[in-house]
Chain A
Amino acid sequence: MNNKMKRIIGIDLGTTNSLSATVFDEGPEVIGTDGDFSVTPSVLSWTGSGWLVGQEARERRITNPENTVYSIKRLMGRSLDELSETVQDLPYQIVEAQRQLVKVRIGESKPYKEFTPQELSAEILKKVKQRAEEALGESVEKAVITVPAYFDDAQRQATRDACRIAGLEVARFINEPTAAAIAYGLDEKRDLQKDGHVVVYDLGGGTFDISILKLSGKIFKVVATHGNTQLGGDDFDQVVVETLKDRIHQEHPEAEFDDPESKHILKKTAEFIKIKLSFSPETDYSLDFSKKSMSFSGVFKLEEFESLIAPMIEQTLESCRHVLREANLSVKKIDEVVLVGGSTVIPAVRKQIESFFGRPPHVAIDPYKVVAIGAGIQGHLLAGGRRDFLLLDVIPLALGIETLGGTFSKIITGNTTIPIEESETFTTNVDNQTSIDVNIFQGERELIKDCRALGQFKLRGIPPMKAGLPLVEVMFRVDANGILTVSAIEKRSGKKAEIEVIPFHGLTQFEIERIMEDSFEHAVDDFNERQLIEFRQTAERVFRGIEQCWDVAENDLSETSRDEIQKQMDVVRQSMKGQDSQALKTQLDVLGDLTRPLADNSMGRSILSELQDDANLNQ
């Protein structure tokens, strides 16, 4: 990459995991060390004064469920009403704030701490950004962020606000399946001369998207896209959770599972069952509710799991039918099916896709990495690194305004290539009317009650005229990021009318600035606190590692060395009780040096290499 060019990374901000990618000299790749460590779990845990993010937070889902927040993506840009079903599955509290905004509430009694999904999402972005900066050895200011294709305007705006709070400039939003198609379309293994229609089937943790793209030469054009922002692998877990509850109820009719710990244990077991059943026809499971001193075990059969998730897979196939219809294509015209998202590794999902499209899906690209890599390639293009392909993306759902009788009047139709500008002229209903309320909606239905309210504005300053005379032109502009801006003008007077947009589910500029100031003030404290918790967890893990190979250590270490290690472990324990994160780090490093000879031992090596990774992670 040449020096003058400022790198733009790609970030896959997922419901379950987030990761970044960029184009290196060797080609596009995920940023970070190999293996699981390049992924940041999209989980946060409140420590009392700041957030732990990623792996450390995920571990606290067991020990600290009520302060640990996950699946934030499902909350972005949505109101409490819309979330009523989602909220029941989550162990943390969600409350309603101003303008239909929701907030996550932390703490069991007053004073509560409350955070918007935008702020929480920003914490994840900050972590991903920081890890990318460490791995690349340079600062990162801009990123291509992927969003589900079926994200509406409010959800995109919320994501943009999260980026602003995290100090990241959004170079471009691209739809997740489109990002996957870029990675696939530019994959070396593919015959680049071969044009055709590609379907991207993207089933992640919380969202489902289906897109059809036409690849012709340098241009990747999204033909149609459809999906469901509230369907994913989490729902598969949920049906298993319900089945487990039913089974337990047969033995313990009085059992309740509404506390965070029970919810977490059930969820964890459901995930375990789901993963096991991807490899075997049945699996044992056991649940241990220690706080209730109750335990339960059983066998889960693949058949049962498959019949439980069948209706949800059918829902995704219904979307496939819909999108083929929109694109005016038959299944036979599809040249390739690309799978994206963790849930597509489930054999039942693959089987159904194969039988629907009549061909085995393309699985050569890692379904976990493909979205981030596509975003990284797009970032490279935007930074000026290449000019040899172009992505033409669409706006998934129609945009328009409310007209008489609660009908939805579309100004921009769904699946239109962006950027786009369209306008429509309206008039007044009453003599001498000087203002008009414009209510903006997004959706594919005929009536506004079935569409999503995005916001409203009042058009003021219309000169008094007879009803029907004023010509009010409302202009909708959707930029290349898929984000809408609306303006209006009264044409007869030539006077540009004043407009005032009040976004629903969104943050105002003022609120974003306040959040940024707050987070800056607390940054130093938070940092020490966060490091302290991270190092404490590392220490726990190091202790476990030492214990595990202590017996064989006799062969590798002299008695003096073993004494020294024991003593140093006590020093570290002492340090763990203190508040100085740097002191703890220093003592941990000493312990690391002392235990180094263990690394020569074959058994110790695997354990210590894990410790080494932790140390790298925390530097």
Chain B
Amino acid sequence: MTFEQPACQKCESTLISHLFCLSCNAFQTVPPEIDYFEVLGFPVCFEINSEDLEERYKSLSLVLHPDFFAAAPEEEKRLSEKASAMLNTAYNSFRGTTSRAGYLLSLFSKGKNLNERTLPDGFLQEMFFLQESLDELLESSDSSALNKMNEDLRTRHKEIESYYAPLFKNFKDLPEDSDILQQLQTHLNAERYLRRLLDRIPATD
């Protein structure tokens, strides 16, 4: 997959987002399978600087949002709603490390038969143990111990999220290696387990 600079369907200027031309303010006709990278105008790559993402989201919102098309013809109104919804979806997906990794993996693994349920070795035992301790702590309502556990789980969660970037980097060099994708899938599955545990801890002020 390579990153091509597309041209505006109307004025042929180079597009940033595939949705809208910033030079001539024209909505573009896009295929339904347009991906989030095309929506936001980023190269297909796991690492996206959060400030860049924020800036891009803002600058596109400031031209696409339906508020600026309230007095426009129906067709343009519809295009603006549609484009704005796509932008919001793409932005939401890219903001979270795991959701971005999950999205990118789904792009890379199209047509490849990944096992969707794999977990790291020994992970289930670890989770089983953590779950039991959490049950006990929730029952005892020992808030300092609970806070400690919360911190530990968050550290573990961060650790899992730190595995994505190097794997995507490896995959870039070895795009034929499905095993790398399988490893990513494994970490994403582990992350989901851990998040469910974290969700059970009541928030404190």
> Which residue numbers of A lie inside 8 Å of B, CB to CB?
5-6, 8, 171-172, 216-219, 321, 325, 378, 381-384, 387, 390-392, 416-422, 477, 479-480
Looking at B82-90, B120-128, B164-172, B181-189, the stretch in contact with chain A turns out to be B82-90
B10 contacts chain A at the CB level, 8 A cutoff:
no
* Contact of A325 with B203 at beta-carbon distance under 8 Å, contacts A390-B61, A419-B84, A419-B85 already known: yes
Q: By the criterion CB–CB under 8 Å, are B70 and A419 in contact?
A: no
Name B71's contact: one of A383, A392, A420 (CB within 8 Å): A383
Nearest to A394 among chain B residues (CB) is B88
Number of interface residues of B (CB under 8 A): 20
Task: A390 to B65: give the CA distance in the assembly, Å.
Answer: 8
Evaluate contact between A420 and B89: CB separation under 8 angstroms. Answer: yes
Q: Are A479 and B81 in contact (CB under 8 A)?
A: yes
* CA A6 to CA B70, docked complex, whole Å: 11
B41 on the interface (CB 8 Å rule)? no
**8 Å CB contact of B61 from A5, A392, A479:** A392
- Asked whether B177 is an interface residue with its Cβ less than 8 Å from the other chain, the reply is no
Pairs A-B, 7 closest by C-beta atoms: A382-B70, A421-B85, A480-B66, A419-B85, A325-B203, A417-B88, A384-B71
Residues in B with CB closer than 8 Å to A418 are: 88
Please, how many angstroms separate the alpha-carbon atoms of A8 and B86 in the complex? Answer: 28
B67 and A382 within 8 A (CB):
yes
| In the complex, chain B residues 52-74 whose Cβ is within 8 Å of any chain A Cβ | 58, 61-62, 65-68, 70-71
Contact B70 A171 (CB under 8 A): yes
Contacts of A383 in B (CB 8 A): 70-71
Query: A382-B67, A480-B67 known; A421 and B86 CB under 8 Å?
Result: yes
Q: Which A residues are CB-close (under 8 A) to B82?
A: 421
What is the CB-to-nearest-CB distance from A414 to chain B, in angstroms, rounded to a whole number? 12
Asked whether B162 is an interface residue with its Cβ less than 8 Å from the other chain, the reply is no
**B85 pairs with A387, CB closer than 8 A:** no
Is B205 in the interface zone, CB < 8 Å from A?
yes
* Chain A residue with Cβ nearest B82: A421
B81 and A382 contact, CB distance less than 8 A = no
Encoded as 1 (CB less than 8 Å from any A CB) or 0, chain B from 8 to 51 comes to 00000000000000000000000000000000000000000000
Could you tell me the distance in whole angstroms from the C-beta of A375 to the nearest C-beta in chain B? Answer: 13
Task: Sample 7 A-B pairs with CB under 8 A, ordered by A number.
Answer: A172-B67, A383-B70, A383-B71, A417-B88, A421-B89, A479-B66, A480-B84
A390 near B92 with CB under 8 A, answer: no
What number of residue pairs across chains A and B have CB atoms under 8 A from each other? 59
In Å, the complex CA distance between A218 and B89 comes to: 21
Q: What is the bound-complex CA distance between A218 and B81, given in angstroms? A: 20
Residues of chain B within 8 A of A325, CB atoms compared: 203
Evaluate whether A477 and B85 lie within 8 angstroms (CB atoms) in the complex, with A390-B62, A416-B92 already known: yes
B67 contact set on A, CB distance < 8 A: 172, 378, 381-382, 390-391, 480
A residues near B86, Cβ cutoff 8 Å = 421
A417 to B93 Cα, complex, angstroms = 12
Known contacts A378-B67, A390-B67; can you find 8 more A-B pairs with CB under 8 A? Answer: A8-B70, A382-B70, A387-B68, A417-B92, A421-B89, A480-B65, A480-B66, A480-B84
For residue B65, give the distance in angstroms from its CB to the closest CB of chain A: 6
Which of A383, A417, A477 has the most B CB atoms < 10 Å from its CB? A417
Cα distance, A421 to B58, chains bound together (Å)? 19
CB closest chain-B residue, reference A422: B89
Question: What is the minimal beta-carbon distance from A5 to any residue of chain B, in angstroms?
Answer: 8
Please state if B70 and A219 are interface contacts (CB–CB under 8 Å).
no
Interchain CB contact under 8 A, B61 and A219:
yes
Residues of A within 8 A of B81 (CB): 419, 479-480
Whole-angstrom distance between the alpha carbons of A171 and B67 in the complex? 9
Closest chain B residue to A382 by CB distance? B70
The CA of A566 and the CA of B65, in the complex, are separated in Å by 65
A494 to chain B, nearest CB (A): 13
Is A218 in contact with B70, judged by CB distance below 8 angstroms? no
In the complex, the answer to whether A219 meets B68 with C-beta atoms within 8 Å is no
B residues less than 8 Å from A381 (CB atoms):
67
CA distance A546 to B30 in the complex (A): 73
Q: Determine the chain B residues whose CB is within 8 A of the CB of A171 once the complex forms.
A: 70
Report A193 CB to chain B, min CB distance, Å.
Answer: 16
A559 to B91, CA, bound (A): 81
Q: Check A172–B88 contact: CB distance below 8 A.
A: no
Least distance between B26 CB and chain A CB atoms (Å): 17
Task: Check A218–B62 contact: CB distance below 8 A.
Answer: yes
Q: Which residue of B lies closest to A413 (CB)?
A: B92
| Chain B: minimal CB distance from A213 (Å) | 14
Q: Are A219 and B71 within 8 A (Cβ)?
A: no
CB-CB < 8 A to B65: which residues of A?
390, 392, 480
Q: Shortest distance in angstroms between B22's beta carbon and chain A's nearest beta carbon?
A: 15
Complex: A519 Cα to B89 Cα, angstroms: 43
A383 and B88 alpha carbons, distance in the complex (Å)? 24
Interface 0/1 of B188-205, CB less than 8 Å to A: 000000000000000101
A477 to B203, CA, bound (A): 31
- Contact in complex: B70, A420 (CB < 8 Å): no
Question: Is there an interface contact between A321 and B205, defined as CB atoms closer than 8 Å?
Answer: yes
Complex: A97 Cα to B106 Cα, angstroms: 49
Bound Cα distance from A325 to B203, whole angstroms:
7
Q: How far is the CB of B75 from chain A (nearest CB, A)?
A: 16
Say how far A248's CB is from chain B's closest CB, in angstroms: 42
Inter-chain CA distance A321–B202, complex, in Å, is: 13
Q: Is the CB of B89 within 8 A of A382?
A: no
Closest to B71 in A: A384
**How near does chain B come to A314, taking the closest CB pair, in angstroms?**
14
A6, A378, A387, A419 interface centre (most CB from chain B within 10 Å):
A419
Nearest A residue to B91 via CB reads A417
Q: Do residues B70 and A416 form an inter-chain contact, with CB atoms below 8 A?
A: no
For the complex, give the distance between the alpha carbons of A5 and B92 in Å: 35
User: Inside 8 A of A417's CB, which chain B residues have their CB?
Assistant: 88, 91-92
Query: Interface centre among A8, A219, A325, by most B CB within 10 Å?
Result: A219
Which residues of A are found within 8 Å of B205, using beta-carbon distances? Answer: 321
Does B62 contact A420, Cβ atoms closer than 8 Å?
no
Task: A322 to B62: give the CA distance in the assembly, Å.
Answer: 30
**Once bound together, how far apart are the Cα atoms of A384 and B205, in whole Å?**
43
Instruction: Specify which chain A residues have a CB less than 8 angstroms from the CB of B58 in the assembled complex.
Output: 216-217, 219
A419 near B88: Cβ-Cβ < 8 Å:
yes
* Complexed CA–CA distance, A370 and B66 (Å): 24
Give the distance in Å from the alpha carbon of A125 to the alpha carbon of B66 in the complex: 25
Give the residues in chain B near A6, CB-CB below 8 Å: 71
How distant is B55 from chain A, measured CB to nearest CB, in Å?
Answer: 10
Q: Smallest CB–CB gap between B35 and chain A, Å?
A: 15
Give CA–CA (A418, B86) in the complex, Å: 10
- Whether A219 contacts B66 in the complex (CB less than 8 A), given A418-B88, A479-B81, comes out as no
Residues in chain A near residue B71, CB distance under 8 A: 5-6, 382-384
Given A321-B205, A390-B67, A417-B92; A219-B62 close (CB under 8 Å):
yes
- Residues of A near B89 (CB, < 8 A) are 420-422
**Nearest chain B CB to A190 CB, angstrom units:** 20
